[in-house]
Structure 1
Amino acid sequence: MKKDFFYLILFLFLVSCSQKEKPAVSFYYWKTNFSLSTSEKETIKNNAVQKIYIRYFDIDLHPKTEEAIPLSPIHFPEKPNVNEIVPVVFIKNKVLLKENLDVEKLAKQTFDFVNLINTKNGLSCKEIQIDCDWTLSSKANYLRFMESFKRMSTKKLSATIRLHQIKYFEKTAIPNVDSGVLMYYNMGTIGVNTSNSIYDREIAQRYIKSLKKYPLTLNFALPIYSWGIHIRDNKVIGLRSKMSVLDLKKDKKFALDGDANFVVTTSNYRNGTFYKKGDQLKIEAISKNDLKEMAADLSENAATQPKEIIFYDLDEFNIKNYEKTIFEQVVSCF
């Protein structure tokens, strides 16, 4: 009798595990023109992508008037061929630090501009996301902005969340939103001798154990981009996007100096940036093993199963660095 009961419990456990639904694969799109390449379209199709988070515009302060203004709004040469798009508005923290900021006015202008872009391009959305790395100093304005925005909108509202806001949520506060997205990247310091600033597991481990206590429903955003840290005279002078070890190995003006470091052998211009002989480029990237490690750690520490894993960002330069099944492999870790 006890033996039969044991097998019944085991059977029910195995059934429940097999029925556990994997998170969906989604992407961020972070360009100013929505126009997908062949490989980007194939990635969407092969991963049954239903939702794309599209950066609609940034909000920054005008250099002369100090007024909050939208920058680099999205254009749609083609319409997204997915079930759902989520407009994302990136607000620079310095905007919310501005003295005497009219938060209600900013929220209305932001909401109206999202609607204007949708109307102009014949688009609709069920959700809007606000991306801002708010601080203790900007917290009050940020929270008021989110309250105002939510009140104006009849749509779902989500917010991006950083690791420090997870661990110290009682101080940093939790915005009044329907859900959040933990941006699981840009963890470290960009420096000459620092470890990978995009992902550092040692740093992440200091924070993710707090996930179980975090009361907001979360999805997770994982990085698939790479960049080069431009160093001159032992000082960081810039961050260069869309750089990889494989690409630089093909350029004879750059010589490999270690696993992912290059030295400029001949002064040259590359993608509009001047590289002086003797400059260094430290390439930071995310391997498939990094992605699986991230997923395993997040799965172990998450309070609930995420509905989506959102990869940053949908770009053929990023996609070509991985095998076609990488996104399926990563979500299978949850």
Structure 2
Amino acid sequence: MVKRFFWVLLLLFLTACSKKDQPIISFYYWKTNLKFSETEKAALKDNEVHKLYVRYFDIGLDPQTQQPFPVSPVHFYENVQEFEIVPVVFIQNKVMLEKYLDVEDLAKKTIHLITEINSKNKINCTEIQVDCDWTLNSKDNYLKFVEQIKKLSKKKLSATIRLHQVKYFKKTKIPNVDNGVLMFYNMGSIAPDSLNSIYSRKISEKYLKSLKKYPLHLDYALPIYSWAIHIRNQKVLGLRSKLNSSELKKDKNFEQISSIFFKVKQSNYKNGVYYEENDLLKTETISPEDLKEMAEDLDDNKAQAPKEIIFYDLDEFNLNNYEKNIFKQVISWF
């Protein structure tokens, strides 16, 4: 009896340890109007999500003045008191490329707008995240900006990190933040070829081994979105969001000509976009098998275990492409 009791306790202990060691599930919320659909609410509840990374606004350059300005600030139409909200500010790299950029002034205005949005919506955040695909030419301004945000906000600060910034960190440098989030997507070029620009294992393998050498703790952001690339005469016209094979198969104006390509049978408008006869749509998506592959490769090459897996992004259209338990499956692979 005592022996049996010992084994039960051991099993419970191991289960508890296993559960404790798993990263938590979080989501990015990237829409301008924050309001959850019933499907989104269910996903948050089912996955015990307590933390949301919300895009507060972008920072771009005014076309006339070439001065930095906030683009599409978020509007809350939902009570988010039960969540830990992390404001995310996406900064277009061209802002940081400005030679005479007043970095200190930009940081002050950024913190002011974050504070204003928080105050209006009764949000008390403890962390801010900056998102910028900085380059060698923009790194000086960007690193100064991060320093100013950290100094002025007096909050925990995280930053998004791209694969090339991991591999070449001695050149691109490491921002002075508390932790980074590796964006494990947008790996290829938006092109009319047959390659997936969202995720490519072949491309990721060129960078994965560098993770063990990267000094900053990294959590991981994984993609659950899909889109279509609009092509005319072998030229890319643009990205069409919220379009996938399932949607196009239901539309008689489009004909599937391969596993990823659809041809426009007759000129038409769809979701406000004009499609000309013989245009092509190349669908790009992420399968559950892709997510498993990503998790296994990241786990095999990690320097430290991630504390969070953040899925990009929380949207009913994206959620409907997966089984309900996919997110718990993914974190179990770490």
Q: Smaller-chain TM-score range?
A: over 0.9
* TM-fit CA distance, 1:78: 1.3
Mapping for residues 97-176 of structure 1, pairs under 5 Å? 97-176=97-176
In structure 1, the partner of 2:232 is 232
SS in 2 for 1:66: coil
Mapping for residues 155-234 of structure 1, pairs under 5 Å? 155-234=155-234
Q: Return the alpha-carbon distance in structure 2 between the equivalents of residues 186 and 18 of structure 1.
A: 31
| Contact kept? 1:34, 1:79, Cα under 8 Å | no
Matched residue count: 323
* TM-fit CA distance, 1:148: 0.7
In structure 2, the partner of 1:60 is 60
> Does residue 51 in structure 1 map to residue 44 in structure 2?
no
SS in 1 for 2:296: helix
Q: Please list every run of 5 or more consecutive structure 1 residues that lacks an aligned counterpart in the other structure.
A: 1-10
* TM-fit CA distance, 1:19: 6.2
SS in 2 for 1:31: coil
* TM-fit CA distance, 1:64: 0.3
> Does residue 37 in structure 1 map to residue 47 in structure 2?
no
Q: 1:217 to 1:173 in 2, by over 3 A?
A: same
In structure 1, the partner of 2:296 is 296
> Does residue 76 in structure 1 map to residue 76 in structure 2?
yes
| Contact kept? 1:52, 1:82, Cα under 8 Å | no
Q: Return the alpha-carbon distance in structure 1 between the equivalents of residues 254 and 194 of structure 2.
A: 21
TM superposition outliers: structure 1 runs of 4+ over 3 Å: 14-20
Q: 1:289 to 1:82 in 2, by over 3 A?
A: farther
In structure 2, the partner of 1:6 is none
> Does residue 268 in structure 1 map to residue 277 in structure 2?
no
Q: Return the alpha-carbon distance in structure 2 between the equivalents of residues 81 and 322 of structure 1.
A: 27
TM-score of the pair, normalised by structure 1: 0.94
* TM-fit CA distance, 1:194: 4.4
Q: 1:36 to 1:161 in 2, by over 3 A?
A: same
* TM-fit CA distance, 1:82: 3.4
SS in 1 for 2:323: coil
* TM-fit CA distance, 1:99: 1.7
Q: Return the alpha-carbon distance in structure 1 between the equivalents of residues 328 and 18 of structure 2.
A: 16
TM-score of the pair, normalised by structure 2: 0.94
SS in 2 for 1:310: strand
Letter in 1 for 2:148: S
SS in 2 for 1:318: helix
Residues 127-153 of structure 1, C-alpha deviations (whole Å, 9 max, x = no match): 000000000000000000001110111
Q: Return the alpha-carbon distance in structure 2 between the equivalents of residues 163 and 80 of structure 1.
A: 32
Identity %: 60
| Contact kept? 2:52, 2:85, Cα under 8 Å | yes
Residues 154-189 of structure 1, C-alpha deviations (whole Å, 9 max, x = no match): 110000000000000000000000000000000011
* TM-fit CA distance, 1:190: 1.0
Q: 1:250 to 1:19 in 2, by over 3 A?
A: closer
SS in 2 for 1:27: strand
Residues 259-316 of structure 1, C-alpha deviations (whole Å, 9 max, x = no match): 1210000111111110001000000000000001000100111111101000000000
In structure 1, the partner of 2:325 is 325
* TM-fit CA distance, 1:80: 1.9
Q: 1:261 to 1:162 in 2, by over 3 A?
A: same
| Contact kept? 1:103, 1:144, Cα under 8 Å | yes
RMSD value over aligned CA atoms? 1.4
Q: Return the alpha-carbon distance in structure 2 between the equivalents of residues 54 and 177 of structure 1.
A: 18
Q: Return the alpha-carbon distance in structure 2 between the equivalents of residues 18 and 186 of structure 1.
A: 31
Letter in 2 for 1:293: E
| Contact kept? 2:226, 2:284, Cα under 8 Å | yes
Residues 219-251 of structure 1, C-alpha deviations (whole Å, 9 max, x = no match): 000000000000001111111111110111000
Mapping for residues 6-25 of structure 1, pairs under 5 Å? 15=14, 18=18, 21-25=21-25
In structure 1, the partner of 2:251 is 251
| Contact kept? 2:81, 2:123, Cα under 8 Å | no
Letter in 2 for 1:216: L
Q: Please list every run of 5 or more consecutive structure 2 residues that lacks an aligned counterpart in the other structure.
A: 1-9
SS in 1 for 2:231: strand
Q: Return the alpha-carbon distance in structure 1 between the equivalents of residues 123 and 14 of structure 2.
A: 41
| Contact kept? 1:183, 1:222, Cα under 8 Å | yes
